[in-house]
Chain A
Amino acid sequence: MIKQIINLAWLDLINISRNAIFWVILISLLVMTVTVAFLLPAERNIEQSLFFLDLSPGQQFQATLLQGGLEKEIFFTEQGALEDHIQENRGSRGIILRGTPAAPRLELIQEGAVGEGTLKILGAQLAPLLTGVANPAAYQIQIIDPDREALPLNLEALPPLLTFEVLALGFLLAAVLLFQEREEGLHRALQVSPAGPASYIGGRLLVLWGLGLISGMLLILLTVGWPARILEIMALLLLGTAFFTLLGLALAVFFRSLSEWFFIGVAVLLINMAPLLSTIIPGFAPAFLNLIPSAFLMQGLEGALFGRGAASSITLVVLLLINIGMGLITWVLLRRKIWGEGLS
């Protein structure tokens, strides 16, 4: 059986390497790696989204804000110039300051509508600055976990990207290969060979594990360097790839071609990508997202990479159990839908 698995893995590897979809996925992963390593900024530059025009007598607010540490470049002297700048820079906001420190009046300039909640937060953020409380001496910072280093913004993208990477490799390639075999009638040839569904699953897992591990570790090494908990990270990558490969196979057996599979396949792909949304939109974190396996994986990777989130040992055990269940389901489905139930 081991010989058959290795043989099938080689077969898949050659087949994959000559498949255009594999190169599309590989190039996408390369682009993501370059983006995380070199293009994403290490810090979120909040100041660059707010611009001011001080129309108060003696420009008292500007003086206070400059004293509070804001850059001189974010202050405008004419309302027209401020409005032009806001229009040209998507996502930025302008604040026109009027009145006195005792009775400040703010005028917000921005493209499109703004929610009441956002307005209240903005007001609460600006009020201490305008009244001079922003002086560093006036506030204190209490750090709960002093050993934890501040995480650069670009590295925050790493767990979701790694999750997406194993998702794309496992789920998509497993399905694409199965449809190619189905189209060519290759399952008939496999049916009458000594290789059964277990060897078939093993071969596909072996090759996608290899690809998932190599690309995942490359992404990690190029961004955070050699991680301290490398074994945990590798185990998570392997379990994640295995789960999505098994899911890809289990779903694909119900369809005859990639075009038939497309809508359902993309829907499953999007559901598994939903937890990634909560990293992009921190306010979006409904409880049901935690039930999606990709959320487990993402949290596990975050824990193993940066010492955050759930204990990775628990994640590993949960993912292992999910994989065992998924493996059995996939074996049964392949046996019923592809191999026939004779001698398989």
Chain B
Amino acid sequence: MIKVQKLFYDYGGRGQYAVREVSFTIGDGEIFGFLGPSGAGKSTVQNLITGILPLQQGEVSYDGVSLQEGGRSFFNKIGVSFEHPNLYPALTGLENLKYYRGFFAGPTQDPLTLMERVGLGEAAHKKTREYSRGMKQRLVLARSLLNQPHYLFLDEPTSGLDPNTAEQIREIIREKKEECGGIFLTTHNMHLASELCDRVALLNNGEIVAQDTPRNLQLEYGERAFKAEYSDNGELQEKIFFPEREEDRVQLKDLIASNRIQTLHSQEASLEQVFIRLTGRELT
């Protein structure tokens, strides 16, 4: 379990906090989504909880052990995948993994098997400067899994990927969820967060404005309503029905009985709408 308590961070030391009173926990086998627009403080929080930045205020612990007690060997337990792929361009994909693997002290996975798992088996001996953006992204994800990490930090893992590859990546993340002590996922992609995350935190100006399961947030901040599209004398009509109102309930019941409904959708808010409602600004 990852426990983060009351994190504050001030880059300039002048009282202008990039991160303020950020607290959350990530349970074993849980995917925790961290959502927020650019500049909200997501990277600072990730850098603090992965030990890149020194803690100024607050506490970070992994399975009850303070982050500061681990030293650099702490990095044997975590895997980090970056949004912007960072690879040695003159080295092949396999070489990139092979040499990165050599940094770790514990057991590691076979690089070629990992490359095959992310669909890069055939490109293993190609230099990464010849890889497409999507291939690089997958290789960076594979690199983050080399040391069989107990905690995984993923930054926009499906950004810029085609739908098939993105689905492959989502599948790998779901698999890892079962094996990991926690996955910290940073993304702008609301669909990804809704689909994968057990809980999400919405970050704005360095502060968490809400955190819960995606469903609870959507229900709490959305409207209880249904939007129906139906035909009326050959023309397509659209109407929102509120189940709290007796009149709407009767009307919807009649519409269903008349068999004229073409589409019917519940009107819970998307995470994007929840964020806008809470902060007045968009996520992207």
Task: Report A86 CB to chain B, min CB distance, Å.
Answer: 54
Task: Determine if A186 and B70 form an interchain contact, defined as CB atoms under 8 angstroms apart.
Answer: no
For B48, the chain A residues whose CB sits under 8 A away are 342
Task: Report A22 CB to chain B, min CB distance, Å.
Answer: 11
**Cβ-neighbour of B54 out of A19, A199, A342 (below 8 A):** A342
A199 to B143, CA, bound (A): 20
Instruction: Indicate whether B86 reaches chain A with its CB closer than 8 angstroms.
Output: yes
Quick one: closest B residue to A189, CB to CB?
B86
For A185, the chain B residues whose CB sits under 8 A away are 82, 84-86
Task: Report A64 CB to chain B, min CB distance, Å.
Answer: 69
For B72, the chain A residues whose CB sits under 8 A away are 194-196, 343-344
Task: Report A204 CB to chain B, min CB distance, Å.
Answer: 14
Task: Determine if A184 and B80 form an interchain contact, defined as CB atoms under 8 angstroms apart.
Answer: no
For A106, the chain B residues whose CB sits under 8 A away are none
For A343, the chain B residues whose CB sits under 8 A away are 51-52, 67-68, 70-72, 74-75
**Cβ-neighbour of A14 out of B52, B91, B104 (below 8 A):** B91
For A340, the chain B residues whose CB sits under 8 A away are 47, 52-54
Task: Report A292 CB to chain B, min CB distance, Å.
Answer: 34
Task: Report B268 CB to chain A, min CB distance, Å.
Answer: 37
For B104, the chain A residues whose CB sits under 8 A away are 193-194
Task: Determine if A10 and B90 form an interchain contact, defined as CB atoms under 8 angstroms apart.
Answer: no
Task: Report A14 CB to chain B, min CB distance, Å.
Answer: 6
Instruction: Indicate whether B278 reaches chain A with its CB closer than 8 angstroms.
Output: no
**Cβ-neighbour of B90 out of A19, A199, A342 (below 8 A):** A19
Task: Report B114 CB to chain A, min CB distance, Å.
Answer: 15
Indicate with 1 or 0, residue by residue over A303-344, a CB within 8 angstroms of chain B CB atoms. 000000000000000000000000000000000000111111
Range of interface residues on B (Cβ < 8 Å): 35 or more
A344 to B47, CA, bound (A): 13
- Give the total number of A-B pairs whose CB atoms are below 8 A apart: 89
**Cβ-neighbour of B88 out of A7, A11, A192, A194 (below 8 A):** A11
Task: Determine if A15 and B82 form an interchain contact, defined as CB atoms under 8 angstroms apart.
Answer: no
Instruction: Indicate whether B7 reaches chain A with its CB closer than 8 angstroms.
Output: no
Task: Determine if A195 and B103 form an interchain contact, defined as CB atoms under 8 angstroms apart.
Answer: yes
Instruction: Indicate whether B107 reaches chain A with its CB closer than 8 angstroms.
Output: no
**Cβ-neighbour of A341 out of B53, B67, B74 (below 8 A):** B53
Task: Determine if A194 and B103 form an interchain contact, defined as CB atoms under 8 angstroms apart.
Answer: yes
Task: Report A104 CB to chain B, min CB distance, Å.
Answer: 70
Residues of A6-27 contacting chain B, CB below 8 A? 6-8, 10-11, 14-15, 18-19
Instruction: Indicate whether A56 reaches chain B with its CB closer than 8 angstroms.
Output: no
**A interface secondary structure, majority:** helix
Indicate with 1 or 0, residue by residue over A171-212, a CB within 8 angstroms of chain B CB atoms. 000000000000011101101111110010000000000000
Quick one: closest B residue to A3, CB to CB?
B102
Residues of A188-240 contacting chain B, CB below 8 A? 188-189, 191-196, 199
Instruction: Indicate whether B209 reaches chain A with its CB closer than 8 angstroms.
Output: no
A341 to B56, CA, bound (A): 11
Listed residue (B51, B82, B153) with the most chain A CB atoms within 10 angstroms of its CB? B51
Instruction: Indicate whether A110 reaches chain B with its CB closer than 8 angstroms.
Output: no
Task: Determine if A186 and B86 form an interchain contact, defined as CB atoms under 8 angstroms apart.
Answer: yes
A196 to B71, CA, bound (A): 10
**Cβ-neighbour of A7 out of B52, B71, B73, B103 (below 8 A):** B103
A218 to B87, CA, bound (A): 34
A6 to B102, CA, bound (A): 9
Task: Determine if B82 and A188 form an interchain contact, defined as CB atoms under 8 angstroms apart.
Answer: yes
A196 to B105, CA, bound (A): 13
Task: Report A232 CB to chain B, min CB distance, Å.
Answer: 34
A15 to B127, CA, bound (A): 11
For A186, the chain B residues whose CB sits under 8 A away are 86-88
Instruction: Indicate whether A92 reaches chain B with its CB closer than 8 angstroms.
Output: no
For B53, the chain A residues whose CB sits under 8 A away are 340-342
Knowing A193-B75, A343-B71 touch, does A14 contact B90 (C-beta < 8 A)? yes
For B75, the chain A residues whose CB sits under 8 A away are 192-194, 343
A185 to B55, CA, bound (A): 23
A185 to B84, CA, bound (A): 8
Residues of B43-59 contacting chain A, CB below 8 A? 47-48, 50-55
Instruction: Indicate whether B76 reaches chain A with its CB closer than 8 angstroms.
Output: yes
Indicate with 1 or 0, residue by residue over B242-263, a CB within 8 angstroms of chain A CB atoms. 0000000000000000000000
A246 to B68, CA, bound (A): 29
Task: Report B274 CB to chain A, min CB distance, Å.
Answer: 31
Task: Report B208 CB to chain A, min CB distance, Å.
Answer: 21
Knowing A340-B52, A343-B72, A343-B74 touch, does A193 contact B103 (C-beta < 8 A)? yes
Residues of A within 8 A of B (CB): 3-4, 6-8, 10-11, 14-15, 18-19, 184-186, 188-189, 191-196, 199, 339-344
User: 16 other contacts beyond A15-B88, A18-B90, A186-B88, with CB at 8 A cut-off?
Assistant: A3-B105, A14-B95, A188-B82, A192-B78, A192-B80, A193-B75, A193-B100, A193-B104, A194-B72, A195-B72, A340-B54, A341-B53, A342-B47, A342-B48, A343-B51, A343-B71
A–B Cβ pairs within 8 angstroms, 7 of them:
A8-B99, A14-B91, A184-B89, A186-B87, A192-B78, A342-B53, A343-B71
